Structure 1
């Protein structure tokens, strides 16, 4: 946005998926647990004008920067010398002027090379006698990483389009394209990569999900909008826009999309182990998930939600957290999916947004249902239901129970002291009771009817990690249950919390 770049491949996350990495950048892919970072940026010969923007210094993992053969003016900014991992800077053949800051001379013996050939008005030293020299600057290890390209080139574009365009729920006959061509597939390409929609993976409110293969090597899931879908272009657009600007190891990655006349499709990374609901219900077959595996999955999901709430600017509310939207990759790593109902959350003094009720019965926050007031604690409520599901492996709503809703049923059972019959019998008591009990406490605090009394996702994540630590430390035998927890049990177990369907 600063320089008016129009590079077709610069859409979405710069580094993922690796197959669709942006042109002229290089990323680090060494640590699988953290998102890749930009380490090299080549903007040479792009016709760029103006000063070298301070925003470059936000690329704190950058090691090489090439701005040669452009028309940059002004001085060489001193901040380039303080970028702690930067080792090569090429500023050849621009229109830079003025003396070179002393900080470059001071670091001459320490390793980072600056080339400034072809800038006749640039003074390499105080006497302005040398114009074409190499300089060295200090390098110090850095930890923080901020993706400036996403912020500048995509984030602003997304919200400008959101403000400018009001999209109807139905598919309009003409509508603006969401983005330009990169990561965008034609409908004929979608047909080809799915082998004419041969293999069905599942079906939901959006439409049918098919298996596909990108370039014959990368498996993908293709979610195709059905003409009779209860969701429409608005939700499709919301999901594309969100996934193009966020990335977290526990959020499903968007590979691409199709937006061609009446054909709408989303292409995701493929999760070969299905969703959490399938494993809890036994639909996938095989051995039941161990307690430690269930905890790991909900912790990873909690981390993804925590990122949406605290790591995104503006923060995001998912609005449809449930076990069918928690996908499992080949390593059984959790990936939170289905962002079609997501909403931005206020970052000013407001504490909520008012919006029409959407969500899934059983997971829907009763306070949000009553008031239409949405905040991040609505996701916390839904996540509490997910925790109850991993503990019990029972349906969220079951009319044959004394208390049909799972939260009310668990509360009712615990008031009777019947802990054993709450826990999934398929676990065969192979768990640390204190770990399960603590998870129950966390879940019940999450489903408190009052949003103010619910913990936030950062607190929930930390508490669940303690549950996993307790389970991992189990050394055979059973320990006495300890009901103490740093998450306050602030909900009455006998309280009916089921919202009526609208």
Structure 2
């Protein structure tokens, strides 16, 4: 709910951060009259002005001080804000200047606004007051005050004042800058008793001049706490609407939100305000549907009930319905479907299937049995459960055999481990080292490291040593430090994961040692160390060129894609960063350090609630805030890695104007100059279009709302295109200047 319009002539304004790349503004009938609108205008703002704690802002008041009656607006105001004149009262004096005021502080107020100010008529007056009343009186609000000194002060003159709100000082001992605009605001919202607000500019004891102010803006807070429907679900339901040519009058705006205006025929799970709503029920019964059952239905991944009854649907019953894990009820009665019902669908447990009234529809044996108990032949209703029972017994026996075999091979795990499949896209999934995983004794570890002679590195887990197995295979041996409180838990988790995953972009586990308090992990040796060493220059050597950086990005992304898509259940790394990306002698890339990795143990779960773990700077802020871990948390961390590859900037640098790399890049993007972002060590030797594409991809990975971030599969596709383009460039070419305008959806946050 934004606003209720109850007059025929009104102008409303909102400052809003969209959580997706689409925006619906809906006019809803509240009385007897029909809603109408004359204009709807969107104005993109840079992301570092009008900061708030979270919520959107509703326009309440905006004014500049002038004896004119004219509003100041576009083109004088580049953001199309309307500045209404506020005439000085008898206690105020108007100051003006014909000189140019520097207004380039992001807010970029018009010259006509900042070239005027008010100050008390009497120089001895200590306070300038601006009162207002809020409705409703409990409203939270933000105030933005704009100042610039317009008078040339003499050596013995000083203008200094405190800014107070209802008697509380918000800015102390402030002095406006001569002909230079500054904006004062509070990041936390304010509230006034009974809605009666009083802003005071109070002259300090050392000031010789009274306070002044040039312009003021007031916004009330709107809390849009309910998230929009999951973007993939919106795309799916709109595709269904398009496929069947549905023209239901209320199928407009967001399908699930607000609940009062839910689309006809839908039910949604929107009980949790922290998670985007999803569609759980779709009823298109008696809707005049023709054609086949639309494939796009499978994209409603949380659908529990599907009713397509009493239409004129033709063709077969698609097998994809059996693969929809949440689907519990399917009603297809009263159509003209034909062919054979997929056996997979008939055998699906807990599914209620109604196919009555489709005379051309058959099973592999006799007539179909309706799983709601209607129709069919009695012998079939007996046969199918018997077959299913026999199959279940056989499956149970096989499962028990596999369980005991795995249990013998995996002494560290009390449960049968999950499986990770091999990719089916032709990529090699074999580990570089084919040495069979084995358990080593501590004495063997001493031998392979030559009594821990050569240190490769140190971390929170412990020290990593150089070693070799049988004097042939080079390895890296990571020994658990006794001071590591989480060491054994992470050691156990990493062994269990690496014993079952095999991918060319995940570091291979040669073996492990678990002997009393002596714990060690033995990995394949990565001769070129970690990515951080190369980007920071710690390892010396040549600077990584742009093509090599893209290759590293692609291969790192492929490793994460494997964990997210080919492991059942899904694996989340939780600590993706440059120090955990390793490079071999050919600069082939492998992800390492899986001690913090977690899986989603329950089928169908989209997240797991867990204690926050990871590395500051790389940590997904949504995960940090909610404790809800998803694979999109890895996507965020990978976005940070990608920015490091592009910029070669520290993730956190307190001496920067924007300390976090994502905020710094977001601010630099507003200038549209890729050279200001790209690592100067590359000396312009790159295809500018691929750098832009990589930057845009990184920023989309850093979207505050995880649901709008790309998947790792999408990231892999985009990066491969960048790498192919860079590889085809050949040789050196000067960087081209590209000017682009970025909307808020590619910036880290508009807050």
The TM-score bracket by the shorter chain reads 0.5 to 0.7
1:161-192 CA deviation, whole Å, 9 max, x = no partner?
44599xxxxxxxxxxxxxxx971111111111
Aligned to 1:274: 529
| TM-score w.r.t. length of structure 2 | 0.42
Q: Paired residue for 1:59?
A: none
| C-alpha distance 417-151 of structure 1, shift in aligned 2 (>3 A) | farther
1:232 aligns with: 487
Separation in structure 1 between the aligned mates of residue 486 and residue 750 of structure 2, nearest angstrom: 33
Please name the residue that 1:464 is paired with.
719
What CA deviation, in whole Å up to 9, does each residue of 1:395-449 have, x standing for no partner?
1001111111100110011113342121100000000000011000000000111
Q: Where does residue 438 of structure 1 map in the other structure?
A: 693
What whole-Å deviation, never above 9, does each CA across 1:366-392 have from its counterpart, x for those lacking one?
000000000000000000000000001
1:409 aligns with 2:664: yes
1:353 shift after superposition? 0.2
**Counterpart residue number, 1:204:** 459
Aligned to 1:154: 406
2:675 paired with 1:423: no
| CA pair 443-156 structure 1, distance change in 2 beyond 3 A | farther
Q: Is the 8 A contact 2:608 2:630 kept in 1?
A: yes
For residues 155 and 343 of structure 1, do their structure 2 counterparts lie closer, same or farther at Cα, with a shift above 3 Å needed?
farther
| 1:290 maps to which of 545, 551, 561 | 545
Deviation at 1:489, TM superposition (A): 7.3
- Identify if the C-alpha distance between structure 1 residues 494 and 311 changes in structure 2 by more than 3 Å, giving closer, same or farther: closer
1:185/1:420 CA distance change after superposition, 3 Å: same
d(CA) in 1 for partners of 2:487 and 2:563? 23
Counterpart selection for 1:322 from 577, 601, 622: 577
Cα 1:230–1:490 shift into 2, 3 Å: farther
Partner Cα distance (1:206, 1:291) in 2:
32
CA distance in 2, matches of 1:230, 1:305: 27
SS at match of 2:669: helix
TM-align CA RMSD: 2.8
Q: Which residue of 1 aligns with 2:746?
A: 491
1:113-172 per-position Cα deviation (integer Å, ceiling 9, x unaligned)? xxxxxxxxxxxxxxxxxxxxxxxxxxxxxxxxxxxx99994389769944599xxxxxxx
Residues 388 and 216 of structure 1: CA distance in aligned 2, closer, same or farther (over 3 Å): same
Q: 1:222 to 1:349 in 2, by over 3 A?
A: same
Per the TM alignment, residue 232 of structure 1 is displaced from its structure 2 partner at its CA by 1.6
1:198-235 alpha-carbon deviations (Å, 9 max, x no partner): 10000111000000110001110000001012432111
Residues 156 and 417 of structure 1, relative CA distance in 2, 3 Å threshold: farther
How far off is 1:490 after superposition?
Answer: 2.2
Distance in 2 (CA, whole Å) between partners of 1:460 and 1:150 is: 36
Counterpart CA distance in 2 for 1:359 and 1:387 is 17
Q: Note the alpha carbon deviations across 1:272-293, whole angstroms, 9 max, x for none.
A: 0001111111111111000000
Match of 2:266 in 1: none
Distance 2:605 2:537 in 1: 43
| Aligned residue in 2 for 1:313 | 568
Looking at secondary structure, tell me which structure has more strand per residue: 2
Instruction: Classify the secondary structure of the residue corresponding to 1:441.
Output: helix
1-side partners of 2:702 and 2:407: how far apart?
A: 33
Query: What does residue range 48-447 of structure 1 map to in structure 2 within 5 Å?
Result: 153-154=405-406, 161-163=413-415, 183-346=438-601, 348-447=603-702
Report the CA distance shift for 1:469/1:249 in structure 2 as closer, same or farther (over 3 A): same
**2:639–2:699: 8 Å Cα contact kept in structure 1?**
yes
Counterpart of 1:448 in structure 2 is 703
Aligned-partner Cα distance in 2 for 1:202–1:214: 19
Distance 2:606 2:740 in 1: 31
* CA positional deviation for 1:477: 3.6
Please list every run of 5 or more consecutive structure 2 residues that lacks an aligned counterpart in the other structure: 1-400, 418-435
Separation in 2 of the partners of 1:493 and 1:345? 27
How many Å separate the matches in 1 of 2:738 and 2:601? 39
d(CA) in 2 for partners of 1:150, 1:240: 20
Instruction: Give yes or no for contact 1:448–1:491 (8 Å, CA) kept in 2.
Output: yes
| Cα distance in 1, alignment partners of residues 617 and 463 from structure 2 | 23
Distance apart, 1:492 and its partner CA? 2.9
Question: What SS class does the counterpart of residue 245 from structure 1 fall into?
Answer: coil
Distance across 1 between alignment mates of 2:407 and 2:704:
35
Checking the alignment, whether the CA contact within 8 Å between 2:412 and 2:496 is kept in structure 1 is no
| Preserved CA contact (<8 Å) 1:346 1:352 | no
Q: Is the 8 A contact 1:437 1:483 kept in 2?
A: no
The CA distance in 2 between the partners of 1:444 and 1:183, in whole Å, is 42
| Aligned equivalents of 1:339, 1:229: Cα separation in 2 | 15
Please list every run of 5 or more consecutive structure 1 residues that lacks an aligned counterpart in the other structure.
Answer: 1-148, 166-180, 497-502
3-state SS, counterpart of residue 184 of structure 1? strand
Deviation of the 1:345 alpha carbon:
2.2
Q: Call closer, same or farther: CA 1:246–1:152 in 2, change over 3 Å.
A: farther
RCO greater where, 1 or 2, for CA within 8 Å and sep 6 or more?
A: 1
